[in-house]
Structure 1
Amino acid sequence: MPFQPLRTFIAFFFISLSLFGQSGNIPYSTDYYHLLERYEVKSGQLANEYHVNVKPFERRRVANYLEAMETDSLGLSKVDSFNLRYLKQDSWEWLSDEPEQEKGLWNLFFKQRSDFYHFKNGDFDIHVNPVFHFGGGISSLEGEKQNTFINTRGIRIRGSVNNKLGFYTYFSENQAGTPFYVRDFVLNTDGYPYNGYTKVVNGDSLNMVRDYFQAEGYLMFYPSKNIMLRLGHSKNFIGSGIRSMILSDFSSPYFNFAANVKLGRLEYQNLLAKMNNVQEDFDVADLEVIPPKFMVFHHLNLNVTKNFNLGLFEMVMFGDRKFDMNYLNPVIFYRFVEGLIGSSDNALVGADFKLNLANRVSLYGQLVLDEFNRSQNDEDGWYGQKNAGQLGMKYFDFLGARNLDFQFEYNYARPYTFSHFTTYSNLLNYNLPMAHPLGANFKETMLRGRYQPIDRLNLTLTYLWNQKGYDSDTLNWGGDLSKNYRVNRPLEFGNSIGQGAKGTIRLLRLSSSYMLYHNLWIDVSYQKRRFFGISGDQNENLFKFGIRYNAWKEDYLF
């Protein structure tokens, strides 16, 4: 089996260690993680318990950080204090001073507000929560209307055994009606955002009612207090922005092994992952195995000062063979290995940073180099200038207004970035970009404002503008990651962002969420999206409402 060397290595590694301690991760959600970063910035000092550019966060470390925070010196508003209680309650099992249990329902359920059911003693700890998300809406495009809806039922379970083995599992069964622009994305890419295998009901691609499962599950181990090992199916997110330019949560969950080393102000993460290459021919009806592709990734970041974090990372994508044992070395430069074994894999390197200022402002960014040749790089518009970047700013309590937060972000990816000459080495998983939803050959500006006027009400305004170059006729202008960048490339030099058939998106979204009970939300949103360029001018309006419990919203921001 392709991943057998990795399985053998991990099994041997685990057996050889004396394990103690465990924790689960907090599922990634932009709204939830925004609260955590807000406290870090207001504190005037970067968190050493966890680093905000490596997500998801460990629940134990978040609880430790929140409990140790000197709240008296932060000048927290009433709303901030409410959010702090909410975050602590969500990970109450890791607090040194656990909240008192309530009588709950039948003295069995809701004994802690954050848990439908829990049981905890010296040997065993389990937290069980149902998940549901019910909602509806309407999408209108040039006089044509289509109903949208979401129907999600599922369960989340986390816990530990003997304080040595931590576990997390999530499963949901879903049906969803699709807005026009999401339908068009699926038809163009044959990929379903945030998900893997998805069934279109009755094969009706025009209305595209989707029926699909979602699932994640992993085990966590602590061979020492500074080392965390995780094995299972999950997602990762690298960066401090709305987008990640190297590894985001946009694609399907994937099997991965993560090793995180935490030493004071330094954190090192090593990821080994098996993904799915659905670009290759396979017959689902005959139950053939989807061809695998592999990723190795490591990220080293350091809180250089109390307000400045710098990170370096490296990634290699490869496949069409068994997992390469050379990449099991967690402390070697992958580019050397890639060259050593034949230089056929796709190697990327990059850096990220975060700088907090004046207890109010956070500057952040990423730079990714997919290819670099010193002699050719000075040539104007050489196709091999494959790079991507991000620069952003967050301003908390904007202009002195309490709980009004503002964010600006600029992202770009030059033509042919993240693509390669085989389907096994491009940055696609289940036909979905592993970084930015637009793939490459684009530039983008995003603005986001968040306001929490009262304890339980959150208002969010998001605006984005982006411009992408699409392929025309048979020419590959560098925006489609699924294409071989060596084939039908029109230019050797003179390439620029947005080349090809230009398409521009302007999107404005206003959303509100009110929390009725812990993690029980009512949502209402309105979105106006305009696309103009290669297929004319399309104006789409989307109105949605819903109620959700222990479920996170998926942002279809593209």
Structure 2
Amino acid sequence: MRNRKLLVAATLVASLSLLQPADAQQYSKYNSFEFDPIVRALYQPGNNLHTSVKPYRLDQIEKHYNTDSLIRRDLYKPEGHMNIWKRIIHDDLIKWDYKESDNISVSINPYFNFELGKDDDRRTWVNTRGVSFEGHLGSKISFFSALYENQAVFPYYVDEFVETRGVVPGQGRAKTFGDEGRDFSQSTGYLSYNAGTWINFTVGYGKNFIGDGYRSLLLSDNSYSYPYAKMTTTFLKVQYMVMLAQFTHIDKLERLGDERFPYKYGMFHYLDWNIGKRLSLGLFESVIWAAEDETGYRGIDMGYIIPVIIYRPAEYSVGSPDNVVMGLNLKYVPWKDAAFYGQFVMNEFKLDEVMSGNKWWANKQGFMLGFKNYNFLGVKNLDVQTEYSQVRPFTYSHYSPITNFGHFNQELAHPLGANFRESISFLKYRWNRWHLNLEAMYAIHGKDDLHFNDDNFISWGGNIFVSNMLRYDSHGHVIGQGLKTRIIHGAASVSFLINPKNNMNISAGVRMRDYSNDQQDLRSTMFTLAFRTSLNNFYYNF
């Protein structure tokens, strides 16, 4: 029943798409921050691309760049027929093109991560095996499907996260495996239809990202995959995205038999406008509501799926039971290969409370400022990026825990949730097939007191998954309140890229973490050696 309405809505929208044909499109699968070959070329004055909506549509980028050349990264590719060994090193493992009449293309690639490591006295490892299928059928339809099976022994702090939340960061539910291991799996995919020059419809099970930074305060790829139906309209210098998604709320970690988790829906609008040749402005709004509440079963609320309304009046008209998040995304390209960017998020706001300076709990806002420069100082393939974020307590939370801005016990925006300040910076360099990646992160996060029992529990606004009605007072709330925790991450890795078509690489790295507050002082150094295909982001810097 719950998925039927989502599919019906997508089918009704797609039935309106009898417009002139357009070239088939595929979304970029290169979503790894460390190895993304597409994003480096996009920050140029006047190219009229919408860089803040990810994954990118390759057909739109193809109008400005040869995407195959970007993916190849100027690396050698043999001419003529390639045997299976050459395909493993240089190309798709299996590829079939039939262009005589139907313009059909299908490719199959492995997905894997074989990793060994050490965290103090614990030997860690990851064993991921998977396969992906992608291609297009004719001039309008494209598809992607992938399945991954995993077993792993994680570092102590990641394992504690899994034990507490019941999910592996970004990769879904896990069950125990052996004495210290975890067993988990994931499947993703989409079916995309180009209805004309301007309009695209997509139904999928995956992740979306809005923003130009490493983090996003609006919508990120931090959480597990989810089902969604999305319409994107692109014309002149404007791109408008409307998305309906279904999210899962983990109300308790232990389930009885085949008992189902409660679920909720989210509706998202995002309008991105390229103003002139250098400035972009994005307007964001979303609403989260429970599929079933005290009034009974709601399902998909028809008042929210209209693509041209503003959510706050619509939400107020049904009694204000839902969670509305609004925001801005800004980008300015000062010169070639560089960008200043920023975001502002607002969950609730009262001007008189802001002006009073009394730190009202429901003044729930946050912002991000960042800068990135590819080919920094004229050095080819030297990239720098730095950004600062802060979010006030209780942002993204709600009086009803199910309507928080999260999915599968993970945040849909920043992985620290709320009540934090964070600075994070990167330095990356590529020479031929060698990649060097350096990372530094410093954060202050206000957490709930670990020693409080259920009867004395007070929310300090950092955990978005508990009711904000559990706060101690209405005023006096500041960032870092509660159990003030300092988090320091430092990481370095060197990798050798084997196959640019699927980011197959060998990598060695080290990560140092310092996590301290009045109740804990945890320091660890982790070493890893991996043979992998790096296509997705998984965030372990928290």
Q: TM-score normalized by structure 1?
A: 0.88
What does 1:121-140 correspond to in 2, within 5 Å? 121=98, 122-123=101-102, 124-140=104-120
Quickly say closer, same or farther: Cα 1:111–1:459, change in 2 above 3 A: closer
Match of 1:23 among 25, 28, 31: 25
Q: Report what 1:188 is aligned to.
A: 164
Give 1:291 shift: 1.6
Alpha-carbon distance in structure 2 between the residues aligned to 1:16 and 1:368: 33
Give 1:198 shift: 1.5
Quickly say closer, same or farther: Cα 1:136–1:280, change in 2 above 3 A: closer
Q: Report what 1:445 is aligned to.
A: 423
Q: Report what 1:77 is aligned to.
A: none
The residue type paired with residue 61 of structure 1 is Q
The residue type paired with residue 533 of structure 1 is N
Asked if the contact 2:271–2:282 (Cα under 8 Å) also holds between the matched residues in 1, the reply is yes
Alpha-carbon distance in structure 2 between the residues aligned to 1:103 and 1:382: 68
Q: Report what 2:60 is aligned to.
A: 61
| 3-state secondary structure, aligned to 1:297 | strand
Q: Indicate the larger mover: 185-194 or 405-414.
A: 185-194
| 3-state secondary structure, aligned to 1:233 | strand
Q: Report what 1:75 is aligned to.
A: none
Q: Report what 2:280 is aligned to.
A: 309
Match of 1:295 among 266, 285, 298: 266
Alpha-carbon distance in structure 2 between the residues aligned to 1:303 and 1:355: 10
Give 1:130 shift: 1.4
Alpha-carbon distance in structure 2 between the residues aligned to 1:375 and 1:331: 30
Give 1:247 shift: 1.1
Give 1:407 shift: 1.2
Q: Report what 2:392 is aligned to.
A: 414
What does 1:141-220 correspond to in 2, within 5 Å? 145-202=121-178, 204=179, 207=180, 209-220=181-192
Give 1:100 shift: 9.2
The residue type paired with residue 468 of structure 2 is Y
Asked if the contact 1:530–1:537 (Cα under 8 Å) also holds between the matched residues in 2, the reply is yes
The residue type paired with residue 250 of structure 2 is V
Alpha-carbon distance in structure 2 between the residues aligned to 1:553 and 1:316: 25
Query: CA RMSD for the aligned pairs?
Result: 2.4
Q: TM-score normalized by structure 2?
A: 0.91
Asked if the contact 1:412–1:441 (Cα under 8 Å) also holds between the matched residues in 2, the reply is yes
Give 1:463 shift: 0.3
Quickly say closer, same or farther: Cα 1:530–1:57, change in 2 above 3 A: same
Asked if the contact 1:451–1:459 (Cα under 8 Å) also holds between the matched residues in 2, the reply is yes
What does 1:356-395 correspond to in 2, within 5 Å? 356-379=333-356, 380-395=358-373
Asked if the contact 2:222–2:539 (Cα under 8 Å) also holds between the matched residues in 1, the reply is no
Alpha-carbon distance in structure 2 between the residues aligned to 1:449 and 1:361: 14
Q: Report what 1:476 is aligned to.
A: 459
Give 1:436 shift: 0.9
CA deviations on 1:353-392 (whole Å, 9 max, x unpaired) are 1111122531001000000122323232110110121100
Q: Report what 2:480 is aligned to.
A: 498
Identity %: 30
Give 1:111 shift: 10
The residue type paired with residue 463 of structure 2 is D
Give 1:479 shift: 0.6
Alpha-carbon distance in structure 1 between the residues aligned to 2:78 and 2:491: 40
Q: How many residues align?
A: 521
| 3-state secondary structure, aligned to 1:64 | coil
Give 1:520 shift: 2.0
Match of 1:508 among 486, 490, 500: 490
Give 1:5 shift: 3.8
The residue type paired with residue 251 of structure 2 is Q
| 3-state secondary structure, aligned to 1:424 | helix
Alpha-carbon distance in structure 1 between the residues aligned to 2:71 and 2:268: 35
Asked if the contact 1:233–1:253 (Cα under 8 Å) also holds between the matched residues in 2, the reply is yes
Asked if the contact 1:5–1:325 (Cα under 8 Å) also holds between the matched residues in 2, the reply is no
Query: Is there any run of 5+ residues in structure 1 with no aligned partner, and where?
Result: 69-81, 91-98
The residue type paired with residue 383 of structure 1 is W
Q: Report what 1:76 is aligned to.
A: none
Give 1:134 shift: 0.9
Alpha-carbon distance in structure 1 between the residues aligned to 2:527 and 2:435: 17
The residue type paired with residue 134 of structure 2 is R
| 3-state secondary structure, aligned to 1:368 | strand
Alpha-carbon distance in structure 1 between the residues aligned to 2:214 and 2:208: 14
Q: Report what 2:97 is aligned to.
A: 120
Give 1:185 shift: 2.1
Quickly say closer, same or farther: Cα 1:399–1:378, change in 2 above 3 A: same
The residue type paired with residue 294 of structure 1 is Y
The residue type paired with residue 137 of structure 2 is V
The residue type paired with residue 339 of structure 1 is Y
* Residue 283 (str. 1) matches residue 255 (str. 2): yes
Alpha-carbon distance in structure 2 between the residues aligned to 1:406 and 1:162: 40
CA deviations on 1:165-213 (whole Å, 9 max, x unpaired) are 21110111111111111122223333321022211214x5xx3x11111
What does 1:298-337 correspond to in 2, within 5 Å? 298-319=269-290, 320=292, 321-337=298-314
Q: Indicate the larger mover: 308-317 or 398-407.
A: 398-407
Give 1:552 shift: 4.0
Quickly say closer, same or farther: Cα 1:525–1:225, change in 2 above 3 A: same
Quickly say closer, same or farther: Cα 1:192–1:111, change in 2 above 3 A: closer
Give 1:110 shift: 2.9
Asked if the contact 1:103–1:111 (Cα under 8 Å) also holds between the matched residues in 2, the reply is no
